[in-house]
Amino acid sequence: MSRILVYSRTTGYRHSSIPAGIEALEKLGWKHGFNVEASEGMHSFRAGRLERYAAIVFLSTSGAVLDEPGRAALRHYMKQGGSWLGIHAASTTEYEWPWFEGLVGAWFDQHPKIQPATLTVEDREHPATEFLGEKWQRNDEWYAFRSNPRDRERWPEGVENLKVLLSVDEATYQGGTMGADHPLSWCHEYGGGRSFYTALGHAEETYQDPEFLAHLLGALRWLGIGPGAATP
């Protein structure tokens, strides 16, 4: 049975939804045949330890969450064909480590107040979005990013085949800063492995929402976890 590591260490803002996120991922694992190990200890990121996991999930991590041995272990894990999933505040992590920007795809910049908005589903064939229609109504914390992950000229070195899956229509909420093109969820190849990021997942109740859980399960399937998993 596959095993995933859910890492939720924070040295910046800490989301109260982290326990709900861990519980939701554990329930997905029980239902779909993979084990979940939750950790906030940097000891989890050491040479030879990460290879036991089929995927690593950064669940609303923030700030500097790894030491130098941990960074080296994560880079080695990805180089060996590893899989990484970042949820919500994962994009607020490791601002001083350029390699991590490539892993997550874009760093967080700012957000307005929590409010409803309309998402555009740009890819309805990807496992993380195939169950959705053309539009998706959500209430969340709408992250803006320091760069647009769609902009190939600004991709960090090593990013390949980045595909935007969801974008948010800034005309449907107040306080947007990225303009007409505002990606919110994407996937790409990086450092020898696969990376998936979704900016959704701020509130505790989000982790009880069937559509959001299907979004996470589809991301894991694309990373090679669970039934119907894609082949990396």
- Would you list the DSSP string of 36-88? EEEE--GGGSSTTTGGG-SEEEEES-BB----HHHHHHHHHHHHTT-EEEEEG
Q: Within a domain: residue 198? A: yes
Q: Which residues pair with 142 in a beta bridge?
A: none
Dist. CA 95–CA 99, nearest whole Å: 10
Q: Within a domain: residue 174? A: yes
pLDDT reported for residue 227: 67
Q: What is the CATH number of the domain that holds 16?
A: 3.40.50.880
E strand or H helix that includes residue 140: strand 135-140
Q: Within a domain: residue 169? A: yes
Q: Within a domain: residue 232? A: no
pLDDT reported for residue 232: 42
In a 3-state reduction of DSSP, which class is residue 17? Answer: coil
Q: Within a domain: residue 231? A: no
Q: Within a domain: residue 230? A: no
Structural domain span for residue 142? 2-222
Q: Which residues pair with 57 in a beta bridge?
A: 6, 85
φ, ψ dihedrals at 58, nearest 5°: -95, 105
Residue whose tokens read 């939720």: 8
How far, CA to CA in Å, does 73 sit from each of 49, 62, 77, 123? 8, 19, 6, 32
pLDDT reported for residue 50: 96
Q: Within a domain: residue 218? A: yes
Q: Which two three-digit tokens encode residue 88?
A: 């919500």
Dist. CA 83–CA 56, nearest whole Å: 6
φ, ψ dihedrals at 93, nearest 5°: -110, 145
The mean pLDDT values, 10 residues at a time, for the chain of 232 residues are 96 98 98 97 94 97 98 97 98 97 97 98 97 98 96 85 97 97 98 97 98 98 81 44
pLDDT reported for residue 156: 80
pLDDT reported for residue 153: 83
Q: Within a domain: residue 65? A: yes
Q: How many domains are there within the chain?
A: 1
pLDDT reported for residue 158: 85
E strand or H helix that includes residue 138: strand 135-140
pLDDT reported for residue 38: 98
